[in-house]
Structure 1
């Protein structure tokens, strides 16, 4: 019996992970029909149905799930082995996959990546921005960027930026019409723009001043799930927003937004670049880590 090729097994792992022939085909750079044909051939070779197919979705069968569980460590070890010998080339290259939320991705694109891609032109950066927190190992990422409090405990973390804070903001017109709150409790008498988290829950606004901590779900007629949209809504006078300061930078600088309750919004732990400590660190990621450390070292010396 002809054994399946490594390429077909890798393709199966992508299809099973994406649960979509279309998305898997896009990632693999092949046509959907060609990928479907490869999966049928793979099933014939192993003598088992590995994928459940419908007109709308695809999912692994019980046999497919067992094969996927066994394939994961093998494929990751293979990637590590190839990364190890790739280090011998001297200049980092290959694909570097990073998962980050939108604000973290923006920070990296502004402060880190221009210098990094200039120094290492052979690296292909795949930066995926999404709100939900994912298992970077399971999803095939080399590293992630999140707030320190969100980094899994089994990861190695490198500080990426300065202290980070959420800031309550409103448009000058809103403040002129309704006044500014003096304490977080005053928000109950204001219009607030609330945030829906990827989990479906609403984000509770957290404030702290001289050891006093207050967390609340403020009233409001508008709920959004994107910090940039929330800041934009505040610019249009729709209420008070509570967003990462990075989402409001441009609007604050231009005077379209002003901070409120600023003394209740102290800085918190900053963004961290994190990666699994039990795996070989690819040369492209090692170069990024070194650049991040050097950038912070220079900033500290300034």
Structure 2
């Protein structure tokens, strides 16, 4: 036997509650003849008569009364379930899972998370530090944070930071003993502290000036997978590093590092929060996006 549809069930309950095909049809937004035909189809499927019909009244048969009494609690439970899910979407709560590079998570911790958690204590944040270009959709994250240039084009991107410059840096002690640096190609004669990407490949240093743009696979005896460790190694005089400016601001301000090859620096548009354009956003996620936008207002885009 073919199972009756949920719509057939709702039509039956509506007629049973109002004891009128016309009244039930008005509530359901359909013609009485269409509703009557649907109920006859339901009776045919169940092979039992559900209503006694006369020209003046509609009443339930014993079978109809039995079915009605069994269905009403189920419908109420479903209504409660739907209302509770709707409330979850409207009430700040639940857990937001965010995937981001170490630079992104650091920025969140300084400029977004403290105020957000104080304002919305019912929202839990699950932050995953991941320097790989992970697929946030397949891995079940609500959103990711990456450099704008690394974000897939089919994602919605919300600016978090201002532009980020990539700097070539070394300690004053290293530069005092090393050969002069005037063009990027001079790096081939220096000790460089290289970075290994999550996939295992070494990061090529990128440079641009006027219409010239190129990358260099620089030499070096030390390779690390952390920009922060690279900065610390450079401060110790172990060589030249190439890192986003956010990692080196303190060391530059304190004079422990010096920027070189400034005319050749390249820049990114900055860090952006991103998520699928076709994903329904919970109320909590919308609040988090608003918090990111507020934080971005303190950073000039360029």
Q: Same fold (TM over 0.5)?
A: yes
Higher mean alpha-carbon deviation, 186-195 vs 260-269, is at 260-269
CA contact (8 A) 2:97 2:141 kept: yes
Higher mean alpha-carbon deviation, 246-255 vs 101-110, is at 246-255
Give the alignment of 1:208-223 within 5 angstroms. 208-223=208-223
State the match for 1:88 in structure 2: 90
CA distance in 2, matches of 1:132, 1:82: 37
Is 1:144 the counterpart of 2:144 in the alignment?
A: yes
CA distance in 2, matches of 1:188, 1:250: 27
CA contact (8 A) 2:148 2:268 kept: no
Q: After TM superposition, give the deviation of residue 297 of structure 1 in Å.
A: 3.7
State the match for 1:101 in structure 2: 101
The C-alpha deviation readout for 1:99-146, integer Å capped at 9, x for no partner, is 001011111111111221121111111110011111111111100000
Mind listing any 5+ residue stretches in structure 1 that lack a counterpart? 1-80
CA contact (8 A) 2:90 2:282 kept: no
State the match for 1:190 in structure 2: 190
Mark the CA change 1:83 to 1:250 in structure 2 (over 3 Å): closer, same or farther.
farther
Q: After TM superposition, give the deviation of residue 234 of structure 1 in Å.
A: 0.6
The C-alpha deviation readout for 1:227-266, integer Å capped at 9, x for no partner, is 1111111111110000111121221122211111122113
Q: After TM superposition, give the deviation of residue 87 of structure 1 in Å.
A: 2.6
Give the alignment of 1:269-288 within 5 angstroms. 269-288=269-288
Mark the CA change 1:282 to 1:246 in structure 2 (over 3 Å): closer, same or farther.
same
CA distance in 1, matches of 2:94, 2:188: 52
Mark the CA change 1:84 to 1:171 in structure 2 (over 3 Å): closer, same or farther.
farther
Aligned length: 220
Q: After TM superposition, give the deviation of residue 298 of structure 1 in Å.
A: 5.6
CA contact (8 A) 2:90 2:283 kept: no
Give the alignment of 1:65-214 within 5 angstroms. 84-89=86-91, 92-214=92-214
CA distance in 1, matches of 2:121, 2:272: 24
SS of the residue corresponding to residue 234 of structure 1 reads: helix
Mark the CA change 1:192 to 1:289 in structure 2 (over 3 Å): closer, same or farther.
same
CA contact (8 A) 1:84 1:280 kept: no
SS of the residue corresponding to residue 267 of structure 1 reads: strand
Give the TM-score normalised by structure 2: 0.69
Mind listing any 5+ residue stretches in structure 2 that lack a counterpart? 1-82
CA distance in 2, matches of 1:212, 1:280: 43
SS of the residue corresponding to residue 110 of structure 2 reads: helix
State the match for 2:238 in structure 1: 238
CA contact (8 A) 1:191 1:240 kept: yes
CA contact (8 A) 1:184 1:214 kept: no
Q: After TM superposition, give the deviation of residue 300 of structure 1 in Å.
A: 5.7
CA contact (8 A) 2:235 2:257 kept: yes
- The structure 1 segments of at least 4 consecutive aligned residues displaced by more than 4 Å after TM superposition are 81-84, 298-301
SS of the residue corresponding to residue 99 of structure 2 reads: strand
State the match for 1:258 in structure 2: 258
Q: After TM superposition, give the deviation of residue 221 of structure 1 in Å.
A: 1.1
CA contact (8 A) 1:144 1:274 kept: yes
State the match for 1:27 in structure 2: none
CA distance in 2, matches of 1:133, 1:114: 26
Q: After TM superposition, give the deviation of residue 271 of structure 1 in Å.
A: 0.7
Mark the CA change 1:216 to 1:84 in structure 2 (over 3 Å): closer, same or farther.
farther
